Amino acid sequence: MVSSPDRPSSRLRIVVARRVVLGALTLWAAVTIAFFALRLTAGDPTASLLSQGLATAQQAEALRRALGLDRPLVAQYVAYVAGAVRGDLGRSLYTQRPVTTVIAEQSGSTLRLATAGLVTAAVFGTMLGVLAGWGGTSLLGRAAGALAGIATAVPVAVTGVVILWVATWAGGLSPPLLVLTRGSNLTLPALTLGLASSGALARVIQSGLEDNLRSTYLLAARARGVGHGLRLMWHAFRPALPSAISFLALETALLLSGTVVTETVFARPGLGRLLVSSILAGDFPVVQGLVLLAATIYTSTHILADAVSAFADPRLRAAG
């Protein structure tokens, strides 16, 4: 007898394939919008070199020809997309170094910060969400919900300044703590970045737990003798995992914008500060490369999150 095909696995592949196609379209749209927005709103990027006295008119004209800026806009766009497909993102206007090299040099610091911030958000967000959702109207549950609300409402810039001020004040009382305020230390920047995302993650988990605790299958579990303990909490927590995973994927994609503020407050090198300095200087090739990187991270994390969520929840595979 011939065995039937593995329908859940086939559906999972279909879900992932659809997300890949949508991700490719999202990536193309982000690159296209960034390209034309920079060209149409800010004009000729070599004009900033002339205004700052960093190049003569002849040098600026030669650079325009080298960059292909004297060609029609559509031709520039086609050439840029073709180069991006090959991994060639052009050269920086100021250093004439490959954009990929400039970004790679700063990506290590941001990757460490983003990873530490994501771990911090996952730990604190899960803890607060479970306490708020499972604790209900108890003092501990209300306190966890209040902390999640505060973490969500307070901007990253304010959180970073407060944490830095508290660490400096504590370092005055205990000098060894001053090491936490150094730019190379990840503790305070990761705490700042992670707290900003932990509150929203806690709300997602809390909402899922509260809905699941009122569901019929939890009532059935209690009827089967499952007590009010860790086993019952896992029954309520597991269906909330896909939403939490999807939210963490979204936060991973948005961490680049969070690192802009965090790296500035704590004077850390990284992609965030590179983006700010490139925009202010008018270094369009670097800005476009960073937009492409951010869009790639966004689409990749969402594809991965959808695959993990579909694997964890059969209902999503059926819906796909």
For 192-217, how does the pLDDT look when each residue is reduced to its tens digit (9 = 90+)?
A: 888 888 888 888 888 877 777 677 76
Provide the 10 A C-beta neighbour count for residue 297: 17
Say if 45 falls within a structural domain: yes
Say what the pLDDT of residue 172 is. Answer: 62
Say if 3 falls within a structural domain: no
Q: What is the mean pLDDT of residues 52-69?
A: 72
Q: If pLDDT is split at 50, 70 and 90, which confidence band does 1 have?
A: very low
For 276, the domain range is: 9-319
Q: For the segment 76-119, what is each residue's pLDDT rounded down to a tens digit?
A: 888 888 888 888 888 887 788 899 999 998 888 888 888 888 88
Say what the pLDDT of residue 217 is. Answer: 66
Give residues with Cβ within 8 angstroms of 166, minimum separation 6: none
Say if 232 falls within a structural domain: yes
Is the confidence at residue 166, as pLDDT, over 60?
Answer: yes
| 222 token code pair | 């209690």
Give residues with Cβ within 8 angstroms of 128, minimum separation 6: 144, 145, 147, 148, 151, 198, 199, 202, 206
Give dist(CA 89, CA 98) in Å, integer: 7
Give percent above pLDDT 70 in the chain.
72
Say if 4 falls within a structural domain: no
Say if 2 falls within a structural domain: no
How many structural domains comprise the chain?
1
Kindly report the CA angle at 312 between 311 and 318, in degrees rounded to 5? 60
Contact in structure between 266 and 109 (CB atoms under 8 Å): no
CATH number of the structural domain spanning residue 249 = 1.10.3720.10
Whole-model pTM?
0.70
Say if 117 falls within a structural domain: yes
Contact in structure between 203 and 152 (CB atoms under 8 Å): yes
Q: If pLDDT is split at 50, 70 and 90, which confidence band does 232 have?
A: low
